[in-house]
Amino acid sequence: MKQAVKRLIPSQLKQHLGGLRLQFKSIPYRVGNDVECPICGTHYKSFMPFRYRNNAYCPTCKSLERHRYIYLNLRDNLGFYAAPRKKVLHFAPDICLIPSIVQNPFIEYITADYMTSFTSSITIKPDYVMSIDNILFPDETFDLVIAIGILVMVPNDAQAIREVFRVLKPSGYAIFHDPINLNQPQSFSDANLTPDEKQKLYHGHDQRWYYGADYADRLRAQGFAVETDTYAQQIDAKRYGISPNERIYVAKKG
Ligand SMILES: [Zn+2]
pLDDT at residue 54, rounded to an integer: 94
Same domain, 20 and 117: no
* Domain count for the chain: 2
The 10 Å CB-count burial string (b at 16+, else e) for 59-98 is bbbbbbbbbbbbbbbbeeebebbeeeebbbbbbbbbbbbb
Is the domain of 127 the same as that of 164?
A: yes
Q: Give the Å distance between the CA of 116 and the centre of ligand 1.
A: 25
Same domain, 196 and 214: yes
pLDDT interval class at 2 (50, 70, 90)? low
Q: Is 23's pLDDT higher than 90?
A: no
CB neighbour list of residue 94: distance below 8 Å, 6 or more residues apart: 63, 67, 122, 123, 148
- The pLDDT of 232-239, averaged and rounded, is 94
Phi and psi angles of residue 163, each rounded to the nearest 5 degrees, phi first: -65, -45
* Residues written for the chain: 254
What value does the mean pLDDT take over residues 209-213?
Answer: 92
Tell me how far the alpha carbon of residue 199 lies from the centroid of ligand 1, in angstroms: 30
| CA 95 – ligand 1 centroid, Å | 11
Query: In the listed set 17, 35, 57, which residue is the last one of a domain according to the structure?
Result: 57
User: Residue 221's CB: how many other CB atoms inside 10 A?
Assistant: 12
Cα 220 from Cα 200, distance rounded (Å): 29
Range of the domain at 168: 65-252
- The reply to whether 45 and 77 lie within a common domain is no
Residue 220 reports pLDDT greater than 70: yes
78 and 182 housed in the same domain? yes
Domain of residue 188, CATH code: 3.40.50.150
Q: How far is the CA of 97 from the centre of ligand 1 (A)?
A: 10
What pLDDT does 17 receive? 80
Contact (CB, 8 A) for 111 and 128: yes
Same domain as 108, residue 25: no
How many angstroms does the Cα of residue 74 sit away from the middle of ligand 1?
16
Element (H, E) at 205: none
Cα of 64 vs centre of ligand 1, distance in Å, is 8
Is the confidence at residue 4, as pLDDT, over 70? no
pLDDT in tens, 97-131: 999 999 999 999 999 988 655 555 566 788 999 99
Distance from the CA of 214 to the center of ligand 1, in angstroms? 32
3-state helix, strand, coil in the chain (%, to 5): 30, 25, 45
Q: Are 100 and 158 within one domain?
A: yes
Expressed in angstroms and rounded, the spacing between residue 57 Cα and the centre of ligand 1 is 8
Query: Distances from the Cα of 126 to the Cαs of 21, 98, 154, in angstroms?
Result: 26, 11, 18
Are residues 43 and 86 located together in one domain of the fold?
no
Q: Are residues 33 and 99 in the same domain?
A: no
Same domain, 17 and 108: no
What is the DSSP annotation of 29-78? Answer: HHS--SEE-TTT--EESSPEEETTEEEEE-TTT---HHHHHHHHIIIIIS
Instruction: Determine the pLDDT at residue 203.
Output: 67
- The rounded mean pLDDT for the chain is 89
Same domain, 52 and 69: no
Same domain, 49 and 126: no
For 131, list phi and psi in degrees, rounded to 5: -90, 150
pLDDT for 7 = 63
User: DSSP per residue over 207-247, as a string?
Assistant: -SEEB-TTHHHHHHTTT-EEPPP-GGGTS-TTTTT--TT--
Whether the CA torsion 200, 206, 208, 213 is positive or negative: it is: negative
Question: Which of 17, 36, 57 corresponds to the end of one domain?
Answer: 57
> For residue 240, which amino acid is it?
Y
